[in-house]
Structure 1
Amino acid sequence: MRRVVLCGWVLVVCCGCAGPGGGDEGRAPGAPTGVTARAGSATSVHVMWNAVPAAGGYEVYRGSTKVAEAPASARMLDVTRLAPATTYVFTVRARDGEGRLGPRSREARATTPAAVAADRTAPTRPGGATGRAVGGRAVQLSWSASTDDREVVSYDVYQGGVKIHGVGGEQTATVVTGLRPGTRYSFTVRARDAADNLSPASAPVRLTTASGAGAAGGTAPTGFRATTRQADGAYYIDLAWVPPRLDGVVTEYQIQLDGQPATSLVWGGAPPRGEASYSFYVGREAGAGHRVRLRARLPDGTWGAYSAERAVTTGSRR
């Protein structure tokens, strides 16, 4: 397998790559992608990351110090006992079942707000909580902003009685991924201030994810386009698409050409917020027809649904 950096993309070219369960024995897991950090209060930071396939667990570092471990099923962790008004740098490492540690993720920075003396007043309860299922593995939630005598710093999202996510105090919507198709869930939201006072829980939002063939539909890239062009006697396919709207960061895509996996793309810097694009070589023959589509690796480490398939012919822009 070769890795080539092209215009922000890391192109992974598989030449006889082993399938699942083959060729990876004895190899440490890769670095977690999509690592983010946001202050949860004056003394805590909420760290999130994308799942690493086959990881047996994760280690979270503050600077060079390991501050916590998380199980393989986790994609988030609250780092507590921090100092107010301080900037911290966090990284995450994946560990396999044999204890081998992978490389560190990219750094994520967060600054805790200043402490508020003698604040015992909790924010008001988030109102108007609602949501909808997005395919079989995600739901979109929204709520009305809470108020506080000082400031709402963050919102905690709960599945049942377990906190599964956190967003900044300026947000009143989020998408929860990593769910199971055809499953009923109950979510609530609580507001938090800098002094770690928690509001009462919102009204529960009960949703059922899609099942069957359409279960992953909401995870597909949209607006997918494909055209061909010629340069220096060779033909290329130019792709453009809109990433699926999910909580967490989509950093990897797989392109399927003529019904077979062709390349995997790993975003080498900050992923695009809007339309993404990529171009790849398909040969020197004019009039060759191809079918192309792509899918995203979701923040929970699974693959989402494929985009619509497009047919192109070299030498033609249609």
Structure 2
Amino acid sequence: MRVVPRALSVRRCALLCGSLALVASCGGGGADGTGGERPPGAPTGVTAEAGSATSVHVMWNAVAASAAEVDGYEVYRGSTKVKEVPGPQRMVDVTGLRPSTAYVFTVRARDTEGRLGPPSRAVRARTPGTTVADLAAPSPPARLRGRAAGGRAAHLAWSASTDDRGVVSYDVYQAGTKIHSVGGSRTATVVTGLRPGTRYAFTVRARDAADNLSPAGAPVLLTTTGGKEDVTGAPTAFRAGSHRSDGAYHLELAWVPPRVDGVVTEYQIHLDGRAATSLVFGARAPRDRATHSFYVGRKSGVTHRVRIRAKLPDGTWGGYSAERTVTTGGRD
């Protein structure tokens, strides 16, 4: 029998193990080294505009669809994370800043597995100075005009507001929700992310360096072109029952969220023909099946009619689900 010197044996073993490790590292693992799919890409189209002397409005484009679904975005001021927003949201106001200061912002996408994509390109914004005791808000923007720019966008224009210290930014609202912002030197913008064949009402408000916000100007109504991709945007497979707990009855609701471009985070529940309550899920909104329970009283044998509708990612309300009838303490 041939005897291999111990030192040579150890050396050969190390070389063999290194080769095996190299083969394993070159195997069929995922692009992110975890065996899974790649993390999201870097957001594009990132912009930053001063909203006041103490705030900056950051916007970006949605990360293109990939094998990993985007669950949210993280906004950084320098190397510090300052905001987290859910996937459907692509804008945020960073507040609590200092006047007359330059800031650098980046945005990163996060997927449903919690993996972060690379940062976007860095964008810069400088907050304006402020003056003491500025309590006067700008005048409302006048002569708001709008037209559809295809099925998914709208072009808006307005006359400049006046302010004793100067207008720093304009905020665009749809259905009472701020959806866009531009610098104070601009009096026109394009709003994107809309639905084809849908009627919208937009308003604009002006903001000065002291964060005084003007009243809204007159709204403009317009309808995007094309047919609706989802006729109603209503929740489907809606079910309702009741259960008794601690001497009181609760309605148990379940439904499938509407299939829309984005994630639905807010619902409105109608009970017996009237709006009863709002339900806000936030960043972890369910995508495939949603449930909710709410109190309806202590009496048995009371019959209720219930239905639900969703606030869609573009700020409009979708259609109502089918209405269900539930009797407390009965067979539903």
| Pairwise TM-score range, normalised by the shorter structure | 0.5 to 0.7
The TM-score, its normalising length taken from structure 2, stands at 0.56
Q: Which residue matches 1:140?
A: 155
Alignment of 1:251-270 (within 5 A): none
Task: String of CA shifts for 1:21-59, please: whole Å, max 9, x gaps.
Answer: xxx952100000111101000000000111013311100
Q: Which residue matches 1:6?
A: none
Which residue of 49, 54, 72 maps to 1:38? Answer: 49
Deviating beyond 6 angstroms after TM superposition, the runs of 4 or more aligned structure 1 residues are: none
- C-alpha distance in 1 between matches for 2:98 and 2:195: 38
Q: In structure 2, what residue type is equivalent to 1:38?
A: E
- C-alpha distance in 1 between matches for 2:217 and 2:86: 28
- C-alpha distance in 2 between matches for 1:149 and 1:100: 47
1:55 paired to 2:70: yes
1:209 paired to 2:218: no
- C-alpha distance in 1 between matches for 2:156 and 2:192: 11
Q: In structure 2, what residue type is equivalent to 1:112?
A: T
1:72 paired to 2:91: no
1:116 Cα shift?
1.5
1:212 Cα shift?
3.6
Q: In structure 1, what residue type is equivalent to 2:164?
A: D
Q: Which residue matches 2:318?
A: none
- C-alpha distance in 1 between matches for 2:167 and 2:98: 18
Task: String of CA shifts for 1:156-194, please: whole Å, max 9, x gaps.
Answer: 000110001100001000000010111111110000000
- C-alpha distance in 1 between matches for 2:59 and 2:224: 23
Of all paired residues, the percent bearing the same amino acid is 73
Q: Which residue matches 1:161?
A: 176
Which residue of 14, 31, 37 maps to 1:26? Answer: 37
The number of residues matched between the two structures is 192
Gaps of 5+ in 1: 1-23, 214-299, 301-318
- C-alpha distance in 1 between matches for 2:216 and 2:153: 21
- C-alpha distance in 2 between matches for 1:25 and 1:124: 54
The TM-score, its normalising length taken from structure 1, stands at 0.59
1:109 Cα shift?
0.3
Q: In structure 2, what residue type is equivalent to 1:28?
A: P
Aligned with 2:132: secondary structure?
coil
Task: String of CA shifts for 1:46-103, please: whole Å, max 9, x gaps.
Answer: 0011101331110000000000001111111000000000000000000001110000
1:172 paired to 2:183: no
Aligned with 2:96: secondary structure?
coil
Q: In structure 1, what residue type is equivalent to 2:48?
A: A
Alignment of 1:219-258 (within 5 A): none
